[in-house]
Structures are given as C-alpha cells and as structure tokens.
Amino acid sequence: MKLARRFLKFAQLWDTFRHDRSSSLKGQTARDALVQTAHRIEKGLTIRNPRRLWGWDKIARLATLLEKELSMPNPDRFALETGASVLKAYLEAKKSTGDREETERAAKLLDKTPRIREWMGTVTATGGARHLTAQEVAVPDGLEWARKFFSTRHSVRDFADRPIPRETLLQAVQLALMCPSACNRQPFKVYVLEGKRREEAGYENIYHADKYLVVTGEINAFSAEEYGDWIVSATIFATYLVLALHALGIGSCMKKKELHFASKYNDFLRETCHIPKNEKIVLEIAAGHCKDEFSVACSNRKRAEDVVVFP
Ligand SMILES: Cc1cc2nc3c(=O)[nH]c(=O)nc-3n(C[C@H](O)[C@H](O)[C@H](O)COP(=O)(O)O)c2cc1C
C-alpha cells in the first residue's frame, strides 16, 4: 500500500515536471526577455569602472527585442517603456564618456531604427542608473523601527469580520512590487479570492479570512536554464506583500500550496481565479483585519548564531 502511494506520488511529480518543463521549454516570452536584457544593461550602468565598449552586444539584442515588441499586435507597455528608457540612459551614458568610438556608436545606433527612436521620445519612465547617497538610503532609527515592525507581524488565524477595501489591497501590492526579483522581471501575479467563495465551494475558511491572495509565479518569464526560478521570485514577492499588508494594518497568514503535486484545491483555485497554465500557484495568503483582541502562536525563534555560518 505504502509502495503504491509512493508510486502514485512519483507519477504525479513526473507529470507535473513534464508539464512545467514543456511550458518553460516553449521558451521565455519576448516581453520577459526584453525586461531581462534591459536590466542587464541597467546593472552595468551602476558598477565601478566598467570596461570600455561594454554592453554593445546586449544593446543590439535590446534593440532587436524592442523592434519585435513594437511590431506585436498588443505590445506590452511595461516591457516597452523599460526597454526604451534603459536604451536612452545607456546611449546618454556612452555619449558622456568622451570616448570617440563609444560616442559614435551611440550617435549611430538609432539611425536604422526610426520606430524605436520615435517610441523613445514618448517614454516618460526613468531607466538606467540612479545616483544616491548613503544618507538618502539611511532609515532614521532603523533598528528600532525594524524591531517594532518585524516583531508585530504575526501569522493571524482569526480575523475580524470586516472586508478589506480594494484600494488597500492595491496599495499593499504596489508596495510589495518594490521587492527584488530575478532580473527585475516581476514574474508573479496575485489573484484575490473572497473567503466566502472558498466556503461556497466547500473549502473551509477556519481563519474567517476576508480574502485569500493567491500568489503565482510565471513559468515563461524564464529561459529553460533558469528552470524553477519562478518559485524564488514569487516567494520573495509574497513575503513583501505580507509585510506591506502589515504596514497597512492588515493581518495575514501564508499558506503553503502543493507546488509539485496535483491537488483538488489547486484545481479549484485555477478554475475560479482563471489562472492560466503558464503560472504556477506558489503560495496563498489568508488576509483580513485584525480583531480588537486575538491570539497568535508564539512561534519561538532560533538565535542568529544558530543559522549563521562563518566558514
Ligand atoms: C511557506 C509557508 C507556509 C505556511 N503554511 C501555513 C499553513 O498552511 N497554515 C498556517 O496556519 N500557517 C502557515 N504558515 C505560517 C507559519 O506557520 C508561520 O509563519 C511561522 O510559524 C512563524 O510564525 P509567525 O508568522 O506568526 O511569525 C506558513 C508560512 C510559510 C512561510
């Protein structure tokens, strides 16, 4: 019996892996390749003493990807503005080097691509490098602030019976979008499921959460070599989202999902939220207002010395 169950699990895992693999092997979307390439250039603009003539190969790829996106019936606005703003910043940086070859290349680049030149003129987003000072990024009373902020976030499992306004959720997501993600592709989505809908479908809502936020990772944001990276970026985003909700006074509790095995509940989420096949359900976050009084698990913590290794 045990062996049969193990075999079934293995078969499910294999099936899921084949599905993920076939989705990701369809390849990275042109839109994500554009954002990734733009970001690789953007990163180059922030390092100390970059080598002479760096980045021209990537810029050629960026220009090709921009052309391709511009010729699509429904071009992706975010990818286009990201690509164009970075291209603009790169060319300006090269022109300011004083190096003749760099300057000439920068001046000529757009000659053959009038469509990109025209599009670049309309872009208001800023791309490239931002100059900062240590003082600007310092958080006043940072340690005290962080202690209070982190230590007051708890996984809440008994929410108040009060709806979270849509505006608050959007604000939280906007804040969470400040999180790091692989080459800034932001390969995730959040589907908002009403707690009541979950119940209507026969699934318990034992925490009385107003909403369930289903966080997915986009498989096709990544090339085949990056297989599985959607989990990392989506999880980091989910963590920021929980913290952003906390900043806005909303309690939450992350709930793990079957990542690699089929589950009826995941099928329900896919169907109800219209989650496409190229997205993987990574986590679910129960969310709601905190009651005036409620209990949380103590969840004892390890000490830093227990988890840090100085080899
Ligand atoms: C990936 C992940 C999955 C979790 N799954 C569940 C879950 O299914 N049910 C639940 O009640 N809590 C779940 N939690 C919450 C943890 O139990 C909780 O974060 C941990 O005990 C620390 O407590 P705190 O969040 O209150 O600080 C999950 C947390 C994470 C990060």
Q: What are phi and psi of 29, to 5 degrees?
A: -70, 155
Ligand 1, residues at Cβ distance < 6 Å: 154-155, 157, 253-256, 296-297, 299
Taking CA atoms only, the protein residue closest to ligand 1 atom 29 is 254
Calculate how far, in angstroms, residue 300's C-alpha sits from the geometric centre of ligand 1: 12
Query: What is the structure's pLDDT at 26?
Result: 67
Closest listed residue to residue 38, CA positions, set 108, 94, 90: 90
Looking at the CA of residue 296, tell me the nearest atom of ligand 1.
Answer: 26
Mean pLDDT of the chain: 93
Residue 81 has pLDDT above 90, yes or no: yes
Neighbour count for residue 8 (Cβ, 10 Å): 11
What is the separation of C-alpha 117 from the centre of its chain, rounded to a whole number of angstroms?
A: 29
Report the alpha-carbon distance of residue 44 to residue 57 in Å, rounded.
13
**Each residue's pLDDT tens digit, 194-244:** 999 999 999 999 999 999 999 999 999 998 888 889 999 999 999 999 999
Domain extents in the chain:
2-122, 139-289
Is CATH 3.40.630.40 the classification given to domain 139-289?
no
Calculate how far, in angstroms, residue 207's C-alpha sits from the geometric centre of ligand 1: 13
Using DSSP's 3-state secondary structure scheme, residue 75 falls into coil
* Model confidence, pTM: 0.92
**Each residue's pLDDT tens digit, 127-167:** 999 999 999 999 999 999 999 999 999 999 999 999 999 99
Taking CA atoms only, the protein residue closest to ligand 1 atom 23 is 299
Taking CA atoms only, the protein residue closest to ligand 1 atom 21 is 299
Encoding tokens for residue 276? 């496409």
Query: What is the structure's pLDDT at 2?
Result: 80
Taking CA atoms only, the protein residue closest to ligand 1 atom 7 is 255
